[in-house]
Structure 1
């Protein structure tokens, strides 16, 4: 089994070995930029972990791992435009640096490039992986649309929100692991269990992201503090607060979430309400619940326990992070 550092090194090396065309520079420079502004490259490493779990050929999984990384960055480029976000990984977003039209086009090119990284697989495996990839790509788009819908929907339920983050975040982690498992020649039962592990871990990861947006360390955050509150995003914190609030508190929360302002008073007031209603503690319990659910699927996979150690370390890394 390789170390995490070795996996990271292999991903970086494979990116270097597959450079973009030099022309037109205006199309490819933004793609280089987002790939090299400090991302942890967790998702391609997860693909390699999926292959390694079943003793598969890591070299065979390297290009498919880039398919996941390129797709992820394509989605970030477009999401940042839709969210009007100014920072990504503590650096200017692609549309801020290069312009919106360029960011859209470069994002599209990233998506096309992602599919090209699957082309070297043998025909039967190519078919399985592209079917999985296309299904996931569409689900991520559905999740993003739900996210947009919820900005103007007054009543967003807990079930609505979990469905949205499952599609927007969870399915990509599940697919990264299942893609690796398919390359590693895992059984259908084991690859499906690994997908469910990734899906539930992805939900826990997004819930932790919601937590960190408001309560995370500014030093580690890498993006605007309380950006979800600024943008009136109805995250699980908002949903839980609205559920627990009395009429006066509910009225105050609805007032602030109907206000499109950058006033720091809004952030201060909403944070205070969240703390008063203990939604930060409730969210911590929910994160642990989905993490435990993920581990229950990992327990079902028929490989020696020592081969699962990296995935257990991964869940600790993703869920215990401070930014």
Structure 2
């Protein structure tokens, strides 16, 4: 599993840098970058304990409405305020988030070269005038944050597409790694809601496309093209992270049953098919497309077909990571008690 993740990491890095030195077809770049990001994020999410942030059914139902409110708010901000002012504030915000995301992304690679106590000993820092607020971190995290700080400074000053993409990929990998849907029921609710959300805001209003073009921050990946009228193709991070956390859940379901990559393969293949369909339709109509319109049915469809074929519908629908986590913790505690 770790070898597959390392190979995917190298391939993703090479694909990200490739347009600097050679001509890369943007359509192929979109497909490979999106799929490799999901692949890396999924394998990084497989840990002794499930991801820390778990979504409930209620959260999944509300998510499209909260997303719509935020999207509309951004649209109004760009409409009535200076675009440069809004983007300046957003740059400061993403400067901090970028350092955190980059540090967390590279931390596993550098931890092995640092002293063990640097990785384990926590440092607690309290805010000077708000003593109740505190931040916990390790020396290893500080070391990982140093190159991230210089990189984010380069992004803020140059806004180069490569810096944008590396930050965007870090957000994608961290999102898939850290977020958990908890169950496939919650995942189906979330994907169904965002399926409608994406169609509405792209096809029936100018809001989504307008915000994507105005928002000068790493919330989208940019793929250089040879067309001077349209120098970049774009893919929103939500089209990677949202389906990605569902695919990651399928991988962790496989691992919990001791059958690595069984349903992950079908869900991941469905994601790849959905991205390819998005590119085909986009080029056919020469218009922006709601990627989730094609990705959501593909991911759920391929996974559901595979599950029905194997007769594992009940097991899949009853899978709940929060209960699995509690059982694992009880087992660990019991073992610790016996050892003592």
Normalising to structure 2: TM-score of the pair? 0.32
Could you say which structure has the higher strand fraction?
2
> Which structure's relative contact order is higher, taking Cα pairs within 8 Å and 6+ residues apart?
2
